[in-house]
Amino acid sequence: MEDKLIIKGIEFNSRLWVGTGKYKDFEETARAIEVSGADVVTVAVRRVNITDRKSENLLDFIDPKKYKILPNTAGCYTVEDALRYSRLAREAGVSDMIKLEVIGDEKTLFPDVIGLLEATAILAKEGFIVFPYTNDDPIMARRLADAGAAAVMPLAAPIGSGLGIRNPCNLKIILETINLPIIVDAGVGTASDVAIAMELGCDAVLLNTAIAGAKDPIAMAEAMKYGVLAGRLAYRAGRIPRKLYATASSPIEGML
Amino acid sequence: MRLTINGEIKDNILARSLKELLDELGIISGRVAVEVNGQVIKKSDYEGFRLNDGDIVEIVSFVGGG
Percentage of the residues of chain A whose pLDDT score is greater than 70:
99
Mutate to test the interface with A, among B32, B45, B63 (most CBs of A within 10 A): B63
Q: For the residues B18-40, what does the mean pLDDT come to?
A: 93
Contact B66 A29 (CB under 8 A): no
At A89-100, the pLDDT tens digits run 999 987 999 999
Q: Decide: A41 and A68 in contact? Cβ < 8 Å.
A: yes
Nearest Cα residue to A58 out of A90, A82, A93: A93
Q: For the residues A12-37, what does the mean pLDDT come to?
A: 96
At A176-216, the pLDDT tens digits run 999 999 999 999 999 999 999 999 999 999 999 999 999 99
The confidence score (pLDDT) of residue A170 equals 97
Q: Decide: A17 and B61 in contact? Cβ < 8 Å.
A: no
- pLDDT band at B25; cut points 50, 70, 90: very high
Is B51 an interface residue toward A (CB < 8 Å)? Answer: no
Contact B42 A88 (CB under 8 A): no
Query: Nearest residue on chain A to B21, judged by CA atoms?
Result: A50
Sign (positive/negative) of CA torsion A34, A48, A77, A151?
negative
- In this predicted complex, what is the ipTM? 0.95
Contact A58 B35 (CB under 8 A): no
Distance CA A168, CA A153 (A): 14
Query: Nearest residue on chain A to B33, judged by CA atoms?
Result: A92
The confidence score (pLDDT) of residue A93 equals 85
Question: Across all residues in chain A, what is the average pLDDT?
Answer: 96
The confidence score (pLDDT) of residue A94 equals 79
Q: Is B1 exposed, middle or buried (0-12, 13-18, 19+ CB in 10 A)?
A: middle
Q: For the residues A43-51, what does the mean pLDDT come to?
A: 93
Is A243 an interface residue toward B (CB < 8 Å)? Answer: no
DSSP A242: P
At A217-242, the pLDDT tens digits run 999 999 999 999 999 999 999 999 99
Q: Residue A60's beta-bridge partner residues? A: none
Q: Decide: A89 and A45 in contact? Cβ < 8 Å.
A: yes
The confidence score (pLDDT) of residue B29 equals 79
DSSP A136: S
The confidence score (pLDDT) of residue A57 equals 86
- pLDDT band at A1; cut points 50, 70, 90: low
At A69-84, the pLDDT tens digits run 999 999 999 999 999 9
| Strand arrangement of the beta sheet that strand A153-154 belongs to | A97-100, A129-134, A153-154
At A142-176, the pLDDT tens digits run 999 999 999 999 999 999 999 999 999 999 999 99
Distance CA A126, CA A232 (A): 33
Is A22 an interface residue toward B (CB < 8 Å)? Answer: yes
Burial A107-145 (b: 16+ CB within 10 A, else e): eebbbbbebbbbbbbbbbeeebbbbbbbbbbbebbbbbb
The confidence score (pLDDT) of residue A30 equals 96
- pLDDT band at B28; cut points 50, 70, 90: confident
The answer on pLDDT for A6 being more than 90 is yes
> Which residue among B6, B35, B63 sits closest to A50, beta carbon to beta carbon?
B6
Distance CA A76, CA B52 (A): 29
Contact A47 B32 (CB under 8 A): no
Q: Dihedral of the CA atoms B47, A91, B32, A95 (nearest 10)? A: -130
Q: Decide: A81 and A73 in contact? Cβ < 8 Å.
A: yes
The answer on pLDDT for A52 being more than 90 is no
The answer on pLDDT for B19 being more than 80 is yes
Alpha carbon of A251 to those of A193, A246, A254, A255: distances in Å?
35, 13, 8, 8
Distance CA A47, CA A72 (A): 14
Please state the pTM of the whole predicted model.
0.93
Mutate to test the interface with B, among A17, A86, A88, A100 (most CBs of B within 10 A): A88
Residues of A in contact with B42 (CB under 8 A): 91
> Would you please indicate which residues of A are annotated as catalytic (active-site) residues?
99
Distance CA A209, CA A21 (A): 8
